[in-house]
Structure 1
Amino acid sequence: MKNILSAVALLLVTVSSYSQKITKKNYEYINPMIGTQRMGHTFPGATVPFGSVQLSPETDTIAYELDKKYNGEVYKYCAGYQYDDTTIVGFSHTHFSGTGHSDLGDFLIMPTTGALQINPGTAANPKSGYRSAYSHINEVAQANYYKVKLDDHNIIAELTTSQRVGFHQYTFPKSSDAHIILDLMSGIYNHNEKNVYTFIRVENDTLITGYRQTQGWARTRTVYFAMALSKPFKEYGVKKYDEGNIYNGFWRKFDQTKNFPEAAGRNLRMYFNFDTQDNEKIKIKFALSPVSTAGALANMKAEIAHWDFEKAKTDGQQLWEGELKKIKIETLTENDKTNFYTALYHTFINPTVYMDADGSYKGLDQNIHKAEGFTNYTTFSLWDTYRALHPLFNIVQPKRNRDMVSSMLAHYSQSVHKALPVWSHYANENWCMIGYHSVSVIADAVIKGNVDFDTNLALQACINSSNLRYYDGIEYYLQYGYVPEDKNGSSVSKTLEYAYDDWCIAQMAKKLGRDDVYAEYTKRAQNYKNVWDAKTGFMRPKISDGTFKKEFDALDTHGQGFIEGNAWNYSLYVPQDPEALVELNGGKEKFTRHLDSLFTMTLPDKYFEKTEDITRDGIIGNYVHGNEPSHHVAYLYNFTGKPYKTQQRVRMIIDAMYKPAPDGLGGNDDTGQMSAWYIFTSLGFYPIAPGSDHYALGSPKVKSAILTLENGNTFTITAKNQSDKNVYVSKAELNGKVLDRLYLTHSEIMDGGTLVFYMTNKPVK
């Protein structure tokens, strides 16, 4: 009997464990902490898919001293949070995910207890201000949920969101000195110079409205808000800071610092005081709008009309589940599944919805527009995302990608330059990085048949953007067929990227029957050859007299004609013509050895800006995975007759650059591009040249994957004999037939079917 009972008990445990395993939701594999340490620049806070609100903690360790300008490490805090910091300043409502530039961080809220302090204080002495020490032991980050204990105030902070509303829940101790600080000065950029104007209006004892105008990376950005409290405050006040002085009255008619219903000025902080019982919860709903405070209020009513924090959290997590189930995977380990679904999560954060619930938004022309028939998006980091993020959307988010193209065309129509976005957010064009890569996104959608927009308008917009003569060396590119280094910097990178974009325009024109445009831009797409130096075997900067610049170091990134890379990296950037690139490099065998050297060489310290390890993040040999121009490079072996080397390299990169830890990204995630590379590569294929309908085959990391497509079809990927050692592909079958080529087509995926990889531990030469 005892043995029988033991067996039954064991069976119940086994059944229970199996039940738990099969019932775990995909969103439960998301770890928002991945990428929050070092160079990943992700944020750990709450957001919903493509949400307008990203509610997350700020840990910026720089003191907000009133008598000094902010001179902090802006780059380090692009997302506002660094895992190694030990204090939290507060929780703000807007963040970039994984960028290499900073902005946003709007409307910081911080709950406190004890004597009222309006200054944030310093990380070294958090009790000198309202910031607080915290511990990762008391920190939880999940899909659409963040929780932390603020040790210095003994407060539990919890955050969740809807599309346009941040929902805070703060659990206080018993106190007659409980406070909520609303800091309109705080932001992720140059704090003391960023604010242009702020306005606050206390509508009643539970509702506050206002707006904030900033001049940071975006020169003209205005965000409106409506803030609702679950409990009336007992009193409130405002402090205005200006060049080291605290003013007690603004109009010299009233004492505005206490219980006065409105305030306006450049640098404002507001406080609300409460009496609290032990474990009492004060909740805040904070809605945003690009248009008006009335729009913010309407958004709040439309999205979270209740005060049920758990419901808002669960609703958002179900939104994530709905998006993540587009790809169902089986993996070798739970860590692989965490990596995959966190990567998918990061790809579905940006671009962000930019309009009120009724479709209203502020346009590039600073006028109010209404999105008719599409959802308007912002946060376009196109130098990064044209490579893999938007191609991924064309498979698993086609409707959203069409709307993103429509958003780009709206930007174009509102642009005084009649140009498509380069790097845009919040009704601003930042003109960051190089190329006119909106054309890649648009061409990729057109070539793959993912259109519901005016394709003729789209083609004209692409043509106009490619001929914007006064922008970033284009006038010289049109004159010389290359950008001369003595006329415009980063000349080689620009020449190569312009040539690729021109090829994209040619492909779109061909698809649309514009043979004249096709012929012109096919010729322009060959301009990459104008900066090829056969003598050195590298792309090399030319000057305007047609000669190559004499000073040249192929390993150096400074003053050599390149941006975010060197001659080794960019000499491999001809995604539109890889066969010709192989021939330029002396044929398949010689080019294979060249690629091998890229991955195996050792860079001397002098080629790093600093010798700290952080500058080496994302680097394998001289292959720089942390910078996007290299993302297609491992797949170039497919064009040398050595696909087994592609298979070995991509699996090596996955294992080296992605792990389920705070430092688990080998470089900026760049609004999802790093993560999109991981998704594609884990599935076994990659779009080396968006604008083509081909995907280069690699080596899948998953055991299996089922893509549930919006058109109702499913595409299944299976890797037989998958293991960490079996990184090579002995053969591949598509729909039961041996695939005798090294690529898939877009239609083969979208039509549904089955792709089977047969894995082995021996290279198939």
Structure 2
Amino acid sequence: MKKAFLAIFLSSALSAGAQNLVQYVKPIIGTARMGHVYPGATSPFGSVQLSPETDTISYEKPGGGYNGDVYKYCAGYQYEDKTIVGFSHTHFSGTGHSDLGDFLVMPSVGKLLLNPGTADKPGSGFRSPFSHANEVSEANYYKVKLDGPNVLAEMTTTTRVGFHQYTFPKSDDSHIILDLMAGIYNYPEKNLWTYVRMVNDSTLVGYRSTSGWARTRNLYFAITFSKKFTSWGYRNFSGKQSYNGFWGQFRNTPNFPEIAGRQLRTYFNFKTTEGEKIKVKMALSPVSMDGALANMKAEAPGWDFDQVKKAGQDAWEKELHKIEVKALNKDEMNNFYTAMYHTMINPTIYMDTDGSYRGLDQNNHKADGFANYTTFSLWDTYRALHPLFNIMEPKRNADMIKSMLAHYDQSPEHMLPIWSNSANENWCMSGYHSVAVIADAIVKGNVEGIDVNHALEACVTTARRRDYAAIGDYIDRGYIAAEKSGTSVSSTLEYAYDDWAIAQLAKKLGKNDIYEEFTKRSLNYKNVFNAKSHFMQPRLADGSFKTGFDPFTTHNMGFIEGNSWNYSLFVPQDPKALIGMMGGNKKFVTYMDSLFSYDLPEKYFAETEDITKDGIIGNYVHGNEPSHHVVYLYNWTDKPWKAQEKIRMILKRMYKPTSDGLGGNDDTGQMSAWYIFSSLGFYPVAPGSTEYAIGTPAVYNATINLPNGKKFVIEAKNQSEKNVFVQKTILNGKVLTKPFLNHEDIVNGGTLTFEMGAKHK
């Protein structure tokens, strides 16, 4: 009896310790409106993102500009749509710009239609109606019933392989369409070239070259079917159709037919029995068709769909267990672990299994001693995503930095990445925030395999690049003149912050001359501060402030994705000095309070896409990243408790377990990283520093399982939805007298205890 009891006890303890966390991941969260995430399958940091497209219409307006869909369908999927066009293999997660959507696959039954049809008449093409009632979205698994062809579609992935499983009805006319002209950045002229070669009667290889947001992007594929097709064909939408063989009379040999063109859709015909499953595997490579074949052989050699799904979900389980939390309720568990999931989608691995990758110089390279990554949305992610990696994923973050340094070495401009993807620099957004990511890692001691002196050289060279984005004007004047740039104020502020980060890196490495140079440059934020208005304002080349200033608008005011009211708080490197400039503690607190209480007039939403109602609380723009540190600035005043009540309010209003549950673009994980840090009770206000500002935990407890084998435990005593105020903070038995935490306190392991209450102290 004792042995039986002991066995039951141990089994129960094991189950508790090995709790299934994948169950709390709901990729459907944020798929409506502004979240711009996708519901499909992907592995942690995977090269393949296999997901449905509900539309990809993004054609240019006559006379120039976009019709709006280029923004709406950044991830290819909008929850309110009623039809699916197909399932493609590459997607951005949470971005504000579209691209990718490569190699769209779609099953069909009956008469072969090679046009997608329209949302209002899906039967006019291969598009299909669907119902959310028949849709399942999990970590590394997506399933949906396609009502048009009566086909059940399922998909999962490895790092480099998308695995489809289609359950067909009985039919002599079953088809699988491979659309090689589709793309989320869906302008016909952006599809430069496509090539396909038949390997045998169930396998093809090929590539396509596109010129979208990434202007010279090449992607190679290998696709294989679990069943031989009875016939096949293609249509060149700039030419004629050919049946039963790709070249027809123009094929070179009967065994290796091939096609090439700009606007190709191919199809494969089958006879199916009732409930028959046809499986499709597509492997991707940034380097070659042989690389794609090798990736498939290495990662998905067999046809066991459930086994691949389980392996992928096990990989997610391992990642999710890096932070184990007990939240207030199931909704909050869903929010937390979906946020964890979203932080581990990007950046994405960009190399074959043998380490081969395409470099920025468009040559092929081998990653030597590191994993090469792409998809660096650095204007967003330097703030919280990469600092989160420095706690959870230091080795992976070090590899990301090595990838940035490889980008620098291959760059004709000799610059670190700004916003890079697929061996291309997109030059999107302001600042040179790679330097903040690099400085943050090295200052915090995450230097595994990084040549720190080379890293400093790359940071300094980038920051001295006078001919990029008015850096020369910034260096000469100490600010960017309004005549030189439409984002003169925000860019000045961001450069100043980045310069401070470089100074911290130089100090860490004992380079005093560089430290002094960039410390001086980091004070340039003062040069766009108007002491009369107490706002950051655009300044003309003659030194005067531009007239007609409006602190609530972004239009023609020198800011990007924010207004002066928000950007006037963008001095994360020196909040104490900022408070003094703005008139001292009392005036600063009043300013902060008004940020959250003042409701923007309707006209400011209509004038620009940079400010949207989805991410707004009063005049606080949580949906755009320049505000993400702002609430924590209360910690530098005599009223840090005001941060606590507002953090809980932001968590509740901006993050919900629903399809519209993200109050703005997730921006490759930055919004979600803010949620994770803030739920745990601290936040990296100024990456490049080892200091975190303490807020208020939103969980009962959390355990960060550190890669060094230690644990950092967070406890919240008397936790509830009403008890949002911290009464006392205790670190390893010692009461903290200031609302700050050091990086070493976390990575050395220990316990942080919050005593919570309903009233502030």
The question of 1:315 aligning with 2:311 is answered yes
Q: What is the distance in 2 between the residues matched to 1:251 and 1:139?
A: 38
**C-alpha contact 1:26 1:341 (8 A) present in aligned 2:** yes
Q: Do the aligned partners of 1:180 and 1:273 also contact (CA within 8 Å) in 2? A: yes
Distance 1:615 1:17, change over 3 A: farther
| Residue in 1 that maps onto 2:524 | 527
User: Separation in 2 of the partners of 1:611 and 1:400?
Assistant: 37
Task: Please list the CA deviations of residues 55-86 of structure 1 after superposition, one character each: whole Å capped at 9, or x if unmatched.
Answer: 00000164999x99995611000000000000
1:40 is matched with which residue: 27, 30, 35?
35
Task: Output one character per residue of 1:99-132: Cα deviation in whole Å (capped at 9) or x when no partner.
Answer: 0011000000000001000000100100000010
Q: Name the structure 2 match of 1:166.
A: 162
1:539 aligns with 2:536: yes
Amino acid paired to 1:748: D
AA aligned to 1:228 is T
Report the CA distance between 1:672 and its aligned residue: 0.1
In 1, distance between residues paired with 2:458 and 2:608?
44
Equivalent in the alignment of 1:217: 213
Shift of 1:24: 4.7
Pick the aligned partner of 2:415 from 407, 414, 419: 419
From 288, 291, 295, the equivalent of 2:291 is 295
What whole-Å deviation, never above 9, does each CA across 1:704-745 have from its counterpart, x for those lacking one?
Answer: 000110111100000000000000000100000101111110
Write the letter of the residue equivalent to 1:572: L
Aligned with residue 555 of structure 2, among 547, 552, 558: 558
Q: Deviations over 1:644-670 (max 9, x none)?
A: 001011000000000101000000000
The correspondence of residues 648-667 of structure 1 with structure 2, limited to 5 A, is 648-667=645-664
Q: Which runs of 4+ in 1 moved over 2 A?
A: 16-24, 61-65, 67-72, 245-256, 609-615
Structure 2's unaligned 5+ residue stretches are 1-10
CA distance in 1, matches of 2:607, 2:13: 50
Deviation, 1:612, is 11
Instruction: Name the CA distance, whole Å, in 2 between partners of 1:557 and 1:613.
Output: 8
CA separation of 1:608 and 1:377: change in aligned 2, threshold 3 A: same
Matched, 1:487 2:484: yes
Other structure's SS at 1:190 match = coil
Match of 1:508 in 2: 505
- Residues 17 and 35 of structure 1, relative CA distance in 2, 3 Å threshold: farther
Distance 2:12 2:463 in 1: 58
- Percent of pairs with identical residues: 64
Could you tell me how far apart the structure 2 residues matched to 1:471 and 1:176 are?
Answer: 60
Q: CA deviation at 1:467?
A: 1.1
CA contact (8 A) 2:58 2:185 kept: no
In 1: Cα distance, 2:156 partner to 2:665 partner: 24
Q: Alignment partner for residue 728 of structure 1, among 704, 714, 725?
A: 725
State the alpha-carbon separation in 1 of the partners of residues 148 and 17 from structure 2: 41
Higher mean displacement: 406-415 or 182-191 = 182-191
| Alpha-carbon distance, 1:191 to partner | 2.9
Deviation of 1:21 after TM superposition, in Å, equals 8.2
Structure 1 residue 96, shift from structure 2 partner? 0.3
Of 452, 470, 488 in structure 2, the residue corresponding to residue 473 of structure 1 is: 470
Give the alignment's TM-score, normalised by structure 1. Answer: 0.95
Q: Can you list the C-alpha shifts for 1:246-289, whole angstroms capped at 9, x where unaligned?
A: 46599896389x99821101111000000000000000010000
C-alpha displacement of 1:497:
0.1
State the AA in 2 paired with 1:650.
Answer: I
Alignment partner of 1:719 out of 716, 736, 739? 716
Distance 1:387 1:68 in 2: 38
- 2:493–2:571 contact (8 Å) kept in structure 1: yes
2:61 paired with 1:50: no
Cα–Cα, structure 1 residues 679 and 201, in superposed 2: closer, same or farther, change >3 Å?
same
Contact 1:605 1:611 in 2 (8 A): no
The match for 1:627 is 624
- Does 2:597 align with 1:600? yes
Match of 2:26 in 1: 31
Partner Cα distance (1:441, 1:676) in 2: 14
Which amino acid is the alignment partner of residue 531 of structure 2? A
- Match for residue 268 of structure 2 among 254, 272, 280: 272
Alignment of 1:373-522 (within 5 A): 373-452=369-448, 453-522=450-519
CA distance in structure 2 between the partners assigned to 1:248 and 1:559 by the alignment: 54
- Aligned-partner residue type, residue 303 of structure 2: W
Structure 1 residues 722 and 492: alpha-carbon distance in aligned structure 2, compared to 1, 3 A threshold: same
Q: Does 1:150 pair with 2:146?
A: yes
Query: Partners of 2:740 and 2:530 in 1: how far apart?
Result: 30
SS in structure 2 of the partner of residue 562 of structure 1 = coil
Name the SS for the 2:220 alignment partner.
Answer: strand
Which letter maps to 1:510?
K
- What's the offset of the Cα at 1:194? 1.5
Amino acid aligned to 1:201: R
Instruction: Report if the CA contact (8 A) 1:423-1:429 is conserved.
Output: yes
Long gaps (5+) in structure 1 = 1-15
**Is 1:207 the equivalent of 2:207?**
no
From 675, 693, 696, the equivalent of 2:693 is: 696
The answer as to whether partners of 1:64 and 1:121 remain within 8 angstroms in 2 is no
How has the CA–CA distance of structure 1 residues 111 and 19 changed in structure 2, closer, same or farther, with 3 Å as cutoff? Answer: same
- The alpha-carbon deviation at position 609 of structure 1 amounts to 2.2
- TM-score, length-normalised on structure 2? 0.95
Distance (whole Å) between structure 2 residues aligned to residue 697 and residue 292 of structure 1: 48
- Deviation at residue 19 of structure 1 after TM alignment: 11
RMSD (Å) for aligned C-alpha atoms: 2.3
Q: Distance in 2 between matches of 1:548 and 1:435?
A: 22
Partner residue of 1:116 out of 112, 115, 118: 112
Q: Give, as a single letter, the amino acid of the residue that structure 2 aligns with 1:55.
A: L
AA matched with 2:569: L
Matched, 1:182 2:181: no
**Corresponding position: 1:60 with 2:55:** yes
Paired residues, number: 746
Report the alpha carbon displacement of residue 190 of structure 1 after superposing the two structures with TM.
Answer: 3.1
Say if 2:192 and 2:262, in contact at 8 Å, map to a contact too: yes
2:88 maps to what in 1? 92
Structure 2 counterpart of 1:584, from 555, 573, 581? 581
Amino acid at match of 2:572: P
Report Cα offsets for 1:555-614 as digits up to 9, x if no partner. Answer: 011110000000001000000010000001100111000000000001111111279999
